[in-house]
Amino acid sequence: MLRQIIQIGLPLILPFVIYGLWLKWARAKAIREGHDIIPPWNKGPWLMLFGLGVLLTAAILIFTALGTGAPPDSIYHAPVLRDGVVEPGYFEPKE
């Protein structure tokens, strides 16, 4: 569950978090310098942020799929139940 949150949820919401932090900083700067124009929250680039989050999530999932795992020519051994204990499955390289 934690892996799914890190690989899917975090990259998807990261652009929104960064935009929110930037907006807070820009508002504080505008108030500090006495400007009348404060960036509004409801006029944000929501579609662009969502698209960026989807692209970031896709990039992380593609990188994970291509960069991890066993070699394609390895042999998979399924989990086995021995003496009431499940021994997990594993990959063994071909000789």
User: Over the stretch 14-58, which tens digit does the pLDDT of each residue have?
Assistant: 999 999 999 999 888 888 888 877 778 888 899 999 999 999 999
Q: Which amino acid is at 55?
A: L
Structural contact between residues 66 and 21, judged by C-beta atoms closer than 8 angstroms = no
Question: Contacts for 44-48 with beta carbons within 8 Å, 24 or more apart?
Answer: 44/19, 45/19
Query: Cα 32 to chain center, whole Å?
Result: 35
Predicted pLDDT at 21: 94
Q: Where are the beta strands (DSSP E) in 3-68?
A: none
What letter represents residue 38's amino acid? Answer: I
95 pLDDT above the threshold of 80: no
Residue 71's pLDDT band (cuts 50, 70, 90): confident
Q: How far, in Å, CA of 92 to CA of 67, rounded? A: 18
Please state the rounded mean pLDDT for residues 54-71.
Answer: 89
